[in-house]
Each structure stands twice: as C-alpha cells, then as structure tokens.
Amino acid sequence: MQIYKAPLRDMRFVLHEVFGSADLAKLSSEVDLQPELIDSILEEAGKLAEQVLLPLNASGDEEGCHLENGVVRTPKGFKEAYAKFCAGGWTALACDREYGGQGLPESVNKFVEEMICSANLSFGLYPGLSRGAYLALRHHGADELKKRYLPKLAEGTWSGTMCLTEAHCGTDLGMLRTKAVPRDDGSFAISGNKIFISAGEHDLTENIIHLVLARLPDAPAGSKGISLFLVPKFLPTSDNKPGTRNGVLCTAIEHKMGIKASATCQLTFENATGWLVGAPHRGLAAMFTMMNSERLSVGIQGLAISEAAYQSAVVYARERLQGRSLAGAQHPEKPADPIIVHPDVRRMLLTMRAYAEGCRALGAWVARALDTLEYGKDPALRQQAEDFTALMTPIVKALFTDFGFEAANIGVQIHGGHGYIRDHGVEQYVRDARIAMIYEGTNGIQALDLVGRKLGAHNGRLLRGFFHPIAEFIAAHKTHPKLASMVGALEKALGALQLATATIAEAGLRDAEEAGAAASEYLRLFGLVALGFMWARMAKVALEALPTAHGEAAFYHAKLVTARFYMERILPQAGALYLAIKSGKQAMMAFDEAAF
C-alpha cells in the first residue's frame, strides 16, 4: 500500500523561515499573499493529494490508458478527480487574473505541483502540460489567440500539449519534417507525425490545444527554420465552444515502463488547421518558454517521487521486524527489532530524506527567482533573476530527477523482496521516476546545456549569481561555533566546484569534447554544492529557532541532524567528482569504437 502525507511543516519551514514569505506579498499587487493564505492553500492541496489523487495512483498504474477509435480513455476515477481538480481552482492557481486565474506566485505553485506528483505523477502530467502551454501562449501568442485560449486553459476545461518529437528525431529538432502551409485566411495547414506526446489525447477535457513545431515552405534548414503553431483538437466556434473536429488524430498510445495512467500518444496531423504562435522561423525560441517551464516542473517530479518513496520506506522500516540491533536488542519484547535500528537502513533513509528536503529548498530558491522575474520592478534584480533561473534550470531538471530515481530504488532496497513485488507499490515509483531523467531533454543534454551554454554566457555573469551568495555565507559563518564544521565542508566543496569550472573553461576552449566528457560530473558537482548551501542555510535557521521552539524542538533537531548527515556523508562526493573531471576525456574517447 502506497503511503503519502503532504509534508506541510517542511514546506512552511522553507517558505516562511528559510526564504521569508513576507517578500512574496510585495511582489504582486494582484494578491494579498499573507502567510495564513499560503498555509491554507497548501493544506487544501495536501487534502486533494492525499484523499483524491493518491487512491488512484496504484489502480491507474494497473489499468493504464486505453485507445478506442482514436479516443483515449483514462483509468477509472481520473475524470472525476480531474473535475474536482478544476472545481477547486487548481488549474488557475498561477494563471493571470486577466484570464481567470488566481495570480499566485510560483513559490506557492511549485509546492502544489510537488504534492500532486507525489500522490499521483501520471495525473500531474495533464495539468502540468497545460501550464506549460499557457505560458508559451501567454508570452508569444497574438492577442486574439490569448483571449480565446488562455481562459479555457486557466479554468481547465481545455488542456494543452507540447508536440516536438518525431520518430526520426528526438533532441535534434532541426531534423523535424512536419509541414505548415499558409492559407488565405491567415491560418495554416499542418501535416506530419509526432510521437511521445504526453496528454496528446484523453477524455478529461472537452478540447486539447496542441502546440506544434513545424516548417513553413520557405523555412531554412535546421533549427533556424522551425515555427510554432497552435492546433486545437476541435476548432472553436464563435462563442468559444468546441466545434468541428480538426485534422489531428491519435493513432496509437505508447506501452510504457511507467506513468501508465498518463496518455503518451502518437499523433497524426492531416491538413489540420493551426495558427502561428510568435514569429515565423522563431518557433524553437517560443517553445523553449514552455520547455524551460516543463524542465523545472520535471525536476519537481523527481523531488515528488523522492518524498513519496521516503515516506513509504520509513513506515516499512519501522514496522518490518528483522534481526537484532548491532548494539543489542532494542525491543526485547518483540521477536526481532524493526529494521530501522540498523545503520545501513538509516543510511539509506537519511540519504532519501536529505535529497528530498534539500531539493525542496533549492526548488524554492529557483521559484523565488521566477517570481522576481515575473513581478519584480527593479530591472537589475529582474536581470539577476533571469540569469539565475537560466543557470539553475538544467541543474534542477537533472539533479532532482537523478535523485528521484535513486531514492525510488533505495526505497525498494529497504523493502527488500517486498519492494520488488507490487503489493507495497514502491516498485511503481522506480518505473514512474525513470522517465523524468529522459523527457524534456535527457539529463546528459541538461549537462551539455550547463557547460556549453550557461558557463560562458555573458563572460561568466550567470555564475556570479550562484557563487557570490555562497561565498558571502561562508565568510559570515565560518567561525560560527555550531556551524563551522558544516560551513567548512561547504567551503571545500565550493572550492572543488570553482576548480572544476576553471578546468572545464580552459579545456573546453581547446577541445569541445573535453567539456562534453566532464559535463555530467560537473552538473552533479554543481548540484551537490547547491544542496550543501541549502542545508547550511537550513541548519542556521534551525539553530536560531531551537531556543524558542517549544513543542517543535524535534522538528528543528531533525533538520540539524539531516544537515550534518548531508555534509558528512553526501557532500564529500564533490572531491571525487572534481578528480574525475580533471582526468579529462582520454579514458572514454581513446576507446576504439569497433571494440564496444
């Protein structure tokens, strides 16, 4: 049986105590965002996740989606759950009030996303894709398209997709063949085939809005010749109701390893009517508004799986009796001690906990930058926020999903043989988590983005927004009587990251393969340091809160112990990663291709 309880106390800790929610109230004039309002929103989202979505997770995985005459049927209970989701206003949470949304910041929305995906990742993909489509259209669509489609996406009666991939090309979008032919009325005839389209067809909404990458007749070759088009499943009538069926058809659904209740579709477009979004031949730039949003959300999916797997593992480790403690029987009245007494089980549990809570804090740091970028009035601060989110997007996507898969596997290990079978539901987390490392750009692609685009951008300006706050924190707290050891560990890891950055910058100028060979280790190193900074900050807040914590002393003490575990048992990996980066490309590139 899968177990999930929304981690509301930890979310409040991150939002209110680590980053200070008072600043959120100043960002937007649309919402009087007081801490009490934030807490009530999170509490209601937690109830939805626990009571409505979690009970459908295992059954949805068991049943999966079904294709019937071009229509996808979602598993039993999904339609009713989605109706409750829309009725509760959750699709509109972070949408603009101008289009019927609630205007809440990403700092709140990302925690809601986490709870939804912890309880039911397959379900979370449907509104998640709509959110990305909403952002792309909002930023790049013509006013007429915005007025027609954004309110429907906000209320959730229409949903969105992102149609990039074709059978012959995945990441290399410059090879796509889907065509867009202009019509006299200003629309375009879209023809081509797309695969791996999440939420491409389903029965949850009355219409589906596809954002499709295609080529105009005069398009230049490669990625510079791609345009973006809005293609609805049903053409809207004059009163904005679903009208005539458009020329888009689901021809198959993928039979997947995981996320089986999420419809992953093959779509055929046959002279489908579409409208240009953004400028001709600039579709990739417009689509990246959606893709970058999705990459951050996919990172949150990794965090969500980490949390769900951890909670199930803790309950099992407390209940499963196996052997005696190495220090002597801890529960002599029982035939054996629960496995939570064993050091190796605690190592695994604390690793999962450190991943989840560290990623939650890092995700909140990035979400706060997104809110500054959206609502900030100071151009300099908005530029800093843009730089920071650009730098951190590949790290959040790759690190969080790597950790999510690792945590899910650890959860199975803690359950032992009972984890490998389906009864406890933890093997589903492994299968569901695996895709997050692949879609929206594989984690290897994220690493190449980091070293190939972000490090050298604007003469290293993006890095300053990350390195400087950490260096300032270290300088201010390295002699702190209770933080010094943690800060010292963070300082060593930061030094390894700085040396690795210099190594890659120097070697990459001479040989692009050197940077490519180091990319994945560098992203992991960067992420470990980022989490180290978060844990140092959280430890500081916990120390300051303890003297007056009263009934919450156990919460803050657990935070300090987890921080220590991270600094002593996980962060030291930074040194080994630097040595691997320093070794260069020869160990892998000198191997003869024929010998593989």
Q: Which two tokens stand for residue 451?
A: 């070293």
| Percent of the chain whose pLDDT exceeds 70 | 99
The pLDDT score that the predictor gives to residue 30 is 63
CA–CA distance from 194 to each of 242, 248, 252 (Å)?
23, 10, 11
CA–CA distance from 296 to each of 88, 118, 349, 439 (Å)?
24, 15, 25, 12
Q: pLDDT tens for residues 180-200?
A: 999 999 999 999 999 999 999
Which of the pair, 283 or 246, is modelled with greater confidence? 246
In this predicted structure, the answer to whether residue 240 has a pLDDT above a threshold of 60 is: yes
The pLDDT score that the predictor gives to residue 32 is 75
Which of the pair, 508 or 578, is modelled with greater confidence? 578
Q: What is the mean pLDDT of the chain?
A: 95
Band (pLDDT 50/70/90 cuts) for residue 54 is very high
In this predicted structure, the answer to whether residue 172 has a pLDDT above a threshold of 80 is: no
Is 0.85 surpassed by the pTM of this model? yes
Q: pLDDT tens for residues 286-339?
A: 877 777 778 999 999 999 999 999 999 999 999 999 999 999 999 999 999 999
Give burial (CB, 10 Å; 0-12/13-18/19+) of 108.
Answer: buried
Alpha carbon dihedral 308, 315, 356, 305, in 10-degree steps, equals -20
Q: pLDDT tens for residues 24-40?
A: 877 765 667 888 999 99
Q: Residue range 260-277: average pLDDT?
A: 98
The pLDDT score that the predictor gives to residue 442 is 95
CA distance 27 to 555: 30
Which of the pair, 550 or 522, is modelled with greater confidence? 522
In this predicted structure, the answer to whether residue 153 has a pLDDT above a threshold of 80 is: yes
Write out 116-184 in H/E/C secondary structure. HHHHCHHHHHHHHHHHHHHHHHHHHCCHHHHHHHHHHHHHCCEEEEEECCECCECCCHHHCCCEEEECC
Contact 418, 321 (CB under 8 A): no
Q: pLDDT tens for residues 356-407?
A: 999 999 999 999 999 999 888 899 999 999 999 999 999 999 999 999 999 9
The pLDDT score that the predictor gives to residue 2 is 93
Residue 386: active-site member: no
Q: pLDDT tens for residues 107-142?
A: 999 999 999 999 999 999 999 999 999 999 999 999
The pLDDT score that the predictor gives to residue 284 is 83
In this predicted structure, the answer to whether residue 569 has a pLDDT above a threshold of 70 is: yes
Q: Which two tokens stand for residue 275?
A: 């409208």
CA-nearest of 301, 329, 235, 306 to 273 is: 235
Q: Residue range 55-75: average pLDDT?
A: 96
**Which is the catalytic residue, given 113, 114, 254, 440?**
440
The pLDDT score that the predictor gives to residue 29 is 55
The pLDDT score that the predictor gives to residue 291 is 74
- What is residue 190's three-state secondary structure? strand
Q: Residue range 515-542: average pLDDT?
A: 98
Which phi and psi (to 5°) does residue 182 adopt? -65, 145
CA distance 496 to 16: 32
Q: pLDDT tens for residues 209-223?
A: 999 999 999 999 888
Domain ranges of the chain: 442-588
Q: Residue range 433-440: average pLDDT?
A: 96
Q: Which two tokens stand for residue 567?
A: 């600094």
| Percent of the chain whose pLDDT exceeds 90 | 90
Q: pLDDT tens for residues 75-89?
A: 999 999 999 999 999
Q: Find the distance separating the first CA and the last CA of the chain, reported in whole Å.
A: 43
The pLDDT score that the predictor gives to residue 28 is 63
